[in-house]
Structure 1
Amino acid sequence: MAIYELRTYTLQTGKMAEATEYYQTYGWPALSKHPDRLIGYFTGDVGALNKIVHLWKFEDDADRRAFWKGVYDDPDFMVFAGKFRPLIQTQENQLMLSAPWGPTP
């Protein structure tokens, strides 16, 4: 059964432009080298300012753990993480299952 990981980063006020630059220059190039598990990245608008939200789909927990191990073992990703982490105020991770009705991504 597939699992979904929803990650929400709340950034320090005024840091969205810097975070966007880091993702475009370092983060996405590093992440795109790894297996395609991303459903999408989103940024906050009304009521969710200073937030970056991303949703990932994995086959199971073993797939999820193997994916993130590969990402965190990647020196290019760790360069990004070193630049991005100081911009984060809070991080939330949620693991979810698809509901038994409606569409499934």
Structure 2
Amino acid sequence: MIVEERTYTLHPGQVAAYLKLYETEGMAIQKRILGRMIGYYSTEIGPLNQIVHMWAYTDLNERTTKRAAMAADPGWQAYVQKLRPLLIAQESKVLTPAPFFTPLWQD
């Protein structure tokens, strides 16, 4: 298992607009295609105007396949066009679990 942590830095004052756009247009597509959402957050302390979301995958091959399917989805493409003006930067990290960790969805 791997977890992808994505951090989006937004223009100041755009967090509410981003979250509304994601909730109404992006979330259903992303959840349908990617599947296992671990969490979706906005920053309150530390670097501000950031959205952090995490997704679980079996491995890098699953991630690659699912993200390619999402990129090819016409609804996702339309959503991304609306999203881009809100963004300053994007960062993606792939995390691997410690040997003693059992994800909640596997209990």
Fold similarity call, TM over 0.5: yes
Whole-Å separation in 1 of the counterparts to 2:63 and 2:11: 28
Alignment of 1:63 onto 2:62 = yes
Structure 1 equivalent of residue 28 of structure 2: 29
Where in structure 2 are there 5+ consecutive unaligned residues? none
Give the aligned residue type for 2:86: L
> Which structure has greater helix proportion?
2
Where in structure 1 are there 5+ consecutive unaligned residues? none
Alignment of 1:87 onto 2:90 = no
Q: Deviations over 1:34-89 (max 9, x none)?
A: 24121111111122321110111110111000110111111111111111112111
Change (3 A) 1:86 1:30: same
Deviation at 1:28, TM superposition (A): 0.8
Structure 1 counterpart SS, 2:32:
coil
Structure 1 equivalent of residue 5 of structure 2: 6
Structure 2 equivalent of residue 47 of structure 1: 46
Give the aligned residue type for 2:60: D
Residues 26, 79 of structure 1: 8 Å contact kept = no
Cα RMSD of the aligned pairs, angstroms, is 1.4
Deviation at 1:12, TM superposition (A): 0.7
TM-score by length of 2: 0.88
Number of residue-to-residue matches in the alignment: 104
> How much identity, in percent, do the aligned residues show?
34
Whole-Å separation in 2 of the counterparts to 1:14 and 1:57: 29
TM-score by length of 1: 0.89
Whole-Å separation in 2 of the counterparts to 1:66 and 1:10: 25
